[in-house]
């Protein structure tokens, strides 16, 4: 700000005094925020600081040129942090403005027509676009996108591998996208099947839950599935976590990932950038894997559980089968005045006891946690599964948008004759949660959750359509630009019938096609430039070519009047013929309103002008 003010007020004489303290202030600020100024974030921060200080050193045209080049470099560094469609469009506009400024600087006299320079920069960008697209989509790609270099951990949010009552309800206040699911052959599954599996939590002290690590590894081998597998593609937003999300239960996993015995899909590194992968799941499937170690972990009851909760569980379990006992607990949630709320009261030393018998107000983690504790007290192995439930269908892009507000927690119980069974106790209290997304605009403490049922008003429909259209554009940008990798390039080549090309052939095709495109563009521009020459100039050029065949070559600096004088001196025989042509050309060229009849007569005179040395067939 100080640099801009000093530049605007032409305080250039203060630059030598302001730069040292401002430089020290900028370095100190970067040090305060990032520590040692090494890395992407502190490096970019230093670059921006130095660019601002460069404004105080503007003395000559060369200084502005340096600022333009620094500006382009600063634009490139922004893709370390954000590569969304809106940010990319904004950075493109800034780059075009810098290109316009560069055009102005390279002119002999500074032209104040900024619109003309901007138009020229847009024209140049459009001319280079075809060759750029050919190289981008046809040149062989790496297995992962090259330019998607987001900083790991910057602006990341999502589910953690642990859970404390209140975590998911706080996360559900965010409308930020978690991921997008597309590519469903038969359309997206119904809302009741949209359970996106994430971390599975086993260990608890009654309030806090952890996923921990299973002692016995290996891929799950107890999947019993029915029906057709659902294949789809996920575009996952940066989360900084290790797990991927898939419909319950996953069966087809992306290369490089690992499917644990709890059917949690894990990636070997934290997801620090927008990430695309393909997966497949069975909606009607059962997990039949339970080792002795897993049974023991899924049956542990924390010592801090109150006697009242234990007696309540024993009362409900009395004489009932495991499945009947689970249904009896769900009936208790339905029959008692439980409230599903985003702002539940704070719980004390015995959270399960206080929630079941006193507050009876909670979010999905309250219901899942208390249900799993009751199941374990009744002798049933049980665990919590966290993830997302639901998703808004976008008809423009044919995909499901899953937001952070769709974060959810449910339970799984083990039945010896059925394996792990999904039970969602939240649905017993608020069945609307499964069919409709949450309305997070109005959240009062202890108030029941409201659901977005859609708006039939004209404004509501227009806003919804605009939101869908913008989000589908964002997905297309992520899919075909930011995350355009080797696999997606092979899909594109297969669509074009070029999947038979090998690596050397693909390189030659991309380079040759780009060169041909550039050559075609140059030819079109040359033709259009020739068409822009006015007819009078073309006719005079034709006259000069015929005159050259007669031995009179017009000199580059020679005007029509001087040319006529030289013709009279060097070839007097031609002077009578050329004089009316040149006089008519002078009148047409320098007249404010040239006559159409004179233009036709000039053409006729030039066609009739045939010196003896001109072949009759030459035109």
Average pLDDT over residues 448-461: 60
In tens, the pLDDT along 311-336 reads 999 999 988 999 999 999 999 999 99
For residue 618, the model assigns a pLDDT of 42
In a domain, 145, yes or no: no
User: How high is the pLDDT of residue 412?
Assistant: 96
Query: 113 and 249 share a domain?
Result: no
Percent of the chain residues topping a pLDDT of 70: 84
Cis peptide before 249 (omega within 30 of 0): yes
Of 47-61, 304-318, 382-396, the one with minimum mean pLDDT is: 47-61
Among residues 443, 458, 473, the one where a domain terminates is 458
Within a domain: 559 = yes
| Mode of pairing for the β-strands spanning 361-362 and 339-340 | parallel
> With 70 as the cut, is the pLDDT of residue 120 above it?
yes
Residues 433 and 570 in one domain: no
User: 339 by DSSP, 3-state: which?
Assistant: strand
pLDDT for position 102: 85
Q: What is the mean pLDDT of residues 410-433?
A: 89
pLDDT tens-digit map of 541-587: 888 888 888 888 888 888 888 888 988 888 888 888 889 998 988 88
**Between 381 and 163, residue with greater pLDDT:** 381
My answer on whether 222 and 345 are in the same domain is yes
Q: What angle do CA 582, 583, 588 make, to 5 degrees?
A: 95
Domain boundary among 138, 153, 182: 138
Report if residue 124 sits inside a domain: yes
pLDDT band at 2 (very low <50, low <70, confident <90, very high): very low
Give me the domain span that covers residue 552.
533-608
- The answer as to whether 524 is a domain residue is no
Question: pLDDT > 90: what percent of the chain?
Answer: 23
- Whether residues 124 and 191 fall in one domain: no
The domain total for the chain is: 3
**From CA 429, how far away is CA 179, in angstroms rounded?**
27
Domain assignment present for residue 152? The answer is: no
Instruction: Considering only residues 112 and 289, tell me which one the structure prediction assigns the higher pLDDT.
Output: 289
In a domain, 506, yes or no: no
Q: How far is CA 343 from the centre of its chain?
A: 32
Residue 330: per-residue pLDDT: 94
Residue 474, pLDDT above cutoff 70: yes
User: Same domain, yes or no, for 132 and 169?
Assistant: no
Model confidence pLDDT, tens digit, residues 566-577: 888 888 888 888
Same domain, 397 and 329: yes
Q: Is residue 546 part of a domain?
A: yes
Q: Which two structure tokens, joined as six digits, stand for 105?
A: 């600087």
Backbone angles phi, psi at 394, to 5 degrees: -105, 110
One domain for residues 430 and 564: no
> Which letter does DSSP use for residue 347 in this model?
-
Report yes or no on whether pTM surpasses 0.75: no
**Residues 231, 237: Cα–Cα separation, whole Å:** 20
pLDDT at 540: 86
Write out pLDDT tens, residues 344-369: 888 888 899 999 999 898 888 899 99
CA-CA distances (angstroms) from residue 234 to 207, 231, 493, 505? 32, 10, 21, 31
Condensed to tens digits (0 to 9), the pLDDT of residues 186-214 reads 899 998 899 999 999 999 988 899 987 75
| Predicted local distance difference test score (pLDDT) of residue 108 | 61
In this prediction, residue 157 carries a pLDDT of: 54
The pLDDT confidence band at residue 153, using thresholds 50, 70 and 90, is: very low
Residue 8 corresponds to which tokens in the numbers above? 């605007």
* Catalytic center residues: 364, 408, 424
Indicate whether 36 and 112 sit together in one domain: yes
**Residues 132, 166 share a domain:** no
Q: What value does the mean pLDDT take over residues 16-35?
A: 79
Is residue 375 a contact partner of residue 382, using CB atoms and an 8 Å limit?
Answer: yes
Domain boundary among 407, 435, 458: 458
Q: Within a 10 A sphere around the Cβ of 470, how many other Cβ atoms? A: 14
CB 151 within 8 A of CB 42: no
Same domain for 399 and 544?
no
DSSP string computed for 33-44: HHSSS-SHHHHH
Q: What is the mean pLDDT of the chain?
A: 81
Domain identity same for 231 and 170: yes
Instruction: Based on the fold, state whether residues 451 and 550 are members of the same structural domain.
Output: no
Domain assignment of residue 508, yes or no: no
């Amino acid at each position: 700000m100080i640099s801009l003010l000093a530049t605007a007020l032409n305080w250039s004489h203060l630059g030598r005094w302001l730069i040292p303290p401002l430089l020290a202030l900028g370095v100190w600020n970067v040090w305060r925020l990032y520590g040692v100024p090494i890395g992407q974030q502190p490096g970019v921060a230093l670059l921006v600081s130095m660019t601002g200080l460069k404004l105080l050193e503007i003395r000559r045209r060369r200084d502005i040129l340096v600022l333009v080049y620094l500006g382009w470099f600063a634009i490139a560094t922004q893709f370390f942090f954000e590569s969304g469609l809106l940010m990319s469009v904004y950075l493109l506009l800034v780059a075009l403005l810098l290109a316009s400024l560069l055009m102005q600087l390279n002119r002999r006299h500074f032209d104040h027509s900024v619109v003309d320079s901007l138009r020229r920069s847009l024209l140049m960008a459009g001319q280079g676009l075809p060759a750029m697209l050919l190289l981008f989509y046809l040149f062989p790609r790496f297995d992962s996108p090259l330019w998607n270099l987001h900083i790991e951990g910057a602006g990341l949010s999502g589910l953690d591998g642990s859970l404390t009552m209140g975590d998911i309800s706080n996360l559900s206040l965010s409308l930020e996208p978690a991921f997008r699911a597309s590519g469903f052959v038969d359309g997206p599954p119904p809302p009741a099947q949209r359970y996106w599996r994430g971390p599975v939590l086993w260990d608890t002290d009654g309030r806090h839950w952890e996923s921990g690590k299973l002692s016995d590894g290996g891929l799950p081998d107890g999947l019993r599935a029915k029906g057709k597998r659902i294949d789809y593609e996920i575009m996952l937003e940066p989360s900084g976590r290790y797990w991927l999300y898939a419909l319950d239960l996953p069966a087809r996993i992306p290369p490089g990932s690992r499917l644990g015995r709890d059917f949690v899909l894990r990636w070997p590194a934290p997801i620090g950038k927008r990430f695309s992968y393909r997966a497949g799941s069975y909606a009607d499937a059962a997990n039949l894997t339970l080792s002795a170690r897993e049974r023991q972990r899924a049956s542990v009851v924390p010592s801090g559980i109150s006697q009242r909760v234990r007696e309540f569980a024993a009362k409900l379990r009395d004489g009932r089968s495991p499945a009947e006992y689970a249904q009896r607990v769900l009936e208790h949630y339905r029959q008692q005045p439980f409230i599903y709320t985003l702002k539940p009261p704070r719980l004390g030393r015995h959270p399960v006891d206080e929630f079941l018998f006193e507050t009876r107000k909670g979010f999905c983690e309250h219901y899942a946690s208390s249900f799993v504790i009751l199941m374990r007290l009744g002798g049933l192995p049980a665990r919590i599964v966290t993830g997302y439930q639901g998703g808004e269908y976008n008809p423009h892009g044919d995909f499901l948008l899953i937001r952070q507000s769709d974060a959810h927690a449910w339970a799984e119980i083990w039945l010896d004759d059925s394996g792990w069974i999904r039970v969602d106790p939240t649905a017993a209290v608020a069945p609307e949660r499964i069919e409709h997304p949450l309305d997070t605009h109005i959240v009062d403490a202890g108030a029941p959750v409201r659901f977005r049922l859609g708006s039939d008003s004209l404004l509501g429909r227009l806003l919804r359509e605009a939101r869908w259209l913008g989000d589908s554009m964002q997905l297309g940008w992520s899919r075909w630009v930011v995350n355009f990798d080797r696999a997606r390039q092979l899909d594109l080549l297969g669509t074009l019938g070029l999947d038979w090309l090998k690596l050397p052939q693909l390189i030659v095709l991309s380079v040759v096609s780009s060169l041909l495109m550039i050559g075609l563009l140059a030819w079109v521009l040359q033709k259009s430039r020739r068409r822009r020459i006015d007819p009078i100039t073309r006719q005079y050029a034709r006259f000069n070519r015929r005159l050259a065949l007669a031995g009179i070559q017009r000199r580059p600096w020679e005007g029509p009047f001087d040319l006529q004088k030289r013709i009279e001196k060097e070839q007097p025989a031609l002077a009578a013929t050329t004089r009316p042509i040149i006089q008519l050309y002078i009148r047409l060229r320098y007249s404010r309103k040239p006559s159409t009849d004179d233009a036709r007569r000039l053409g006729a005179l030039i066609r009739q002008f045939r010196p003896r040395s001109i072949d009759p067939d030459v035109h």
